[in-house]
Amino acid sequence: MNELKNDISNIAILAASKVIEKDIDQAKHEEMINKFIEEVGEAK
């Protein structure tokens, strides 16, 4: 369970760092959220 929490934390940090690096529009924002959700689902 702790490994899953660490994986989710790492993914969240990675996603946040990508947002900080560039200005994104609404469509890109939604795409990033969907990708994050998919990656979290795969980690289960």
CB 36 within 8 A of CB 12: yes
**Whole-number Å distance between alpha carbons of 15 and 18:** 5
Number of domains in the chain: 1
What pLDDT score does 39 carry?
Answer: 86
For residue 23, the enclosing domain spans: 2-43
Question: What tens digit of pLDDT does each residue of 13-36 get?
Answer: 888 877 776 667 778 888 888 888
Per-residue b or e along 14-39, where b marks 16 or more CB atoms closer than 10 Å to that residue's CB: eeeeeeeeeeeeeeeeeeeeeebeee
Question: What tens digit of pLDDT does each residue of 2-16 get?
Answer: 888 888 888 888 888
Which residues neighbour 44 within 8 Å (Cβ) at sequence distance 6 or greater?
Answer: 4
Output the CA angle 4-35-6, nearest 5 degrees: 20
